[in-house]
Amino acid sequence: MAVGCSKAPSATSRTSSNLPQPVLYDPAHDLGQLFHDVQLSGMFEDSKTFADARPRLAPAPAPLTPGERRARSIGLGCLMTVLGFLSHMDTSPAVSGANVNPIIHKNYQGGDIVLPKDPTQVITVARNPTLKEMIGDDIITADGTTLLGSDDKSGIAAIMTMIDTLMQNPQIKHGTIAIAFTPDEEVGAGIDKFDIKGFGAQVAYTVDGESLGEISNETWSARTATVTFKGKSTHPGDAKGIMVNAMYALGDYLSRFPHDMLPETTEDRVGFVHPYTGTVDVEESSLKILLRDFEISGLDAKEKILRDMVAATQAKFPEVKISIDVKELDGYVGRYEGGPDFFIPKAILSIERKGDQLWMNYSTGADTPLVPLSTTKFLTRPFWATITFVKDEKGSVTQLIYGYSGTDYIARAMREK
């Protein structure tokens, strides 16, 4: 079975803190029908736009591998019972994903690919050398006027093809498989409501990426910085000695980015800083910057560079008020009090930041590191509990939800006197 590229839009905004809500097209509904088409049921009923499913029938026991037999012979057993596969349904908001017209270039024989509805859009071999490895393949592109949406609907197609193959060929032995299609990549916060316990997989793979056969076993750490430039606007006819144009300070700040630390000049495990969006205005301008690195020390170093750049631009434009805010961890720091129904009644939980790591301390226990699952959800490794921070409409943290053994416990943020 192949899932193809839908002609309905499924783009999401990187600036949104909410889950995308289906308007003209509900991808989970359509994908749900696909699950049933390959004899699956157990669709999770929830308020999010996820499509989650577990198999209707228990699979035949998979034969043990030699390694598993050796492990069992010394009493270790076989720990993994459910294997998960995931792909994301959302597509980039940079280009329209509505009214997609997929073009199949059959039996590709090399050379640049010109997209028919916009001849200025050319997929060149020079900039896409992997085309050299696709001679004889069928290549699918958009027509040049929209996004194709293959990232990551190709992953959805691959997973559904695998499931269909397994269902049609029961002689292929396998363990329990869980699959989920999520709106997690472009929004970032979309994964906050993912039901890890309900999904049930001990190990999972996201089917996305680039080269065939490639497996990525790590990901980078990330921060987002916002730099704000505040000037003073007035009527340009009377502006002499009064107007302070914030745009010039923003331009100076942009010019200070290290050329060898940008996405377009780095590769492999080299981190980067990426100014990706902003607003430009006389009175107030702003710039949002992504920080990426595989090491926390690398993130710290990049944050310091951005702060040093602020200081240098501030010195050059003393009348412009410049500030930098690096999200999100500081907003979670503080003390939280559980109620009488908390798993430890009236417990006080303290959240502290040490470098780029949040730590939790119980009133009766030791420090526990929090492992980020998303921008608002964290995992406590010793107990495999989750900590989810809840914000009000102004962005202030009001409480945390401590999820443990299928129960959510509420601890409210304490206002320091």
- Please report the pLDDT score of residue 261 as a whole number: 95
pLDDT grade for 272, boundaries at 50, 70 and 90: very high
206/70 same-domain check: yes
Asked whether residue 131 carries a pLDDT value surpassing 60, the answer given is yes
**What is the total count of domains within the chain?**
4
Do residue 81 and residue 203 come from a single domain?
yes
CB 9 within 8 A of CB 148: no
255 pLDDT above the threshold of 90: yes
Confidence of residue 383 (pLDDT cuts 50, 70, 90): low
User: Strand pairing of 203-206 and 82-88?
Assistant: parallel
Domain match, 37 and 111 both:
no
155 plus 133 within the same structural domain: no
Residues 65 and 180 in one domain: yes
- Using the 3D structure, point to which of 307, 327, 347 is the last residue of a domain: 327
Q: Are residues 60 and 204 in the same domain?
A: yes
Same domain assignment for residues 69 and 182: yes
Q: 205 and 127, same structural domain?
A: no
- For residue 116, give its domain range: 101-145
Query: Do 141 and 154 lie in a common domain?
Result: no
Say how far apart CA 199 and CA 155 lie, in whole Å: 18
Active site residues: 90, 185
What tens digit of pLDDT does each residue of 155-207 get?
Answer: 888 898 898 898 889 898 888 888 888 776 644 555 666 777 777 787 888 88
Q: Which of 85, 84, 87, 83 is nearest to 3 (CA)?
A: 87
Predicted pLDDT of residue 384: 74
Cβ-based neighbours of 199, under 8 Å, separated by 6 or more: 52, 84, 178, 180
* b/e map 75-105, b = 16+ CB within 10 Å: eeeeeeebbbbbbbbbbebeeebeebebeee
Q: Per mean pLDDT, which range of 176-180, 220-224, 349-353 is the poorest?
A: 220-224
Same domain, 234 and 202: no
What CATH number has the domain bearing residue 303? Answer: 3.30.70.360
CATH code, domain with 38: 3.40.630.10
How far is it, in rounded angstroms, from Cα 329 to Cα 355?
10
Last residue of a domain, one of 110, 145, 180: 145
Structure tokens at 60: 């035949």
Q: Over the stretch 41-62, which tens digit does the pLDDT of each residue have? A: 444 444 444 455 554 545 445 5
Percent of the chain surpassing pLDDT 70: 72
Neighbours of 293 (CB within 10 A): 22
Query: 52 and 126 share a domain?
Result: no
Vertex 320: Cα angle to 314 and 325 (nearest 5): 70
* Bridge-based pairing state of the strands 82-88 and 139-141: unpaired
**pLDDT the model gives residue 88:** 83
Residue 417: per-residue pLDDT: 42
| Contact in structure between 89 and 12 (CB atoms under 8 Å) | no
Q: Is the whole-model pTM more than 0.85?
A: no
Q: Which of 218-227, 242-251, 325-334, 342-351 has the highest mean pLDDT?
A: 242-251
Phi, psi for residue 186 in degrees, rounded to 5: -75, -40
For position 395, what pLDDT does the model report?
Answer: 67
Residues 354 and 280 in one domain: no
Of 129, 145, 161, the residue at which a domain comes to its end is 145
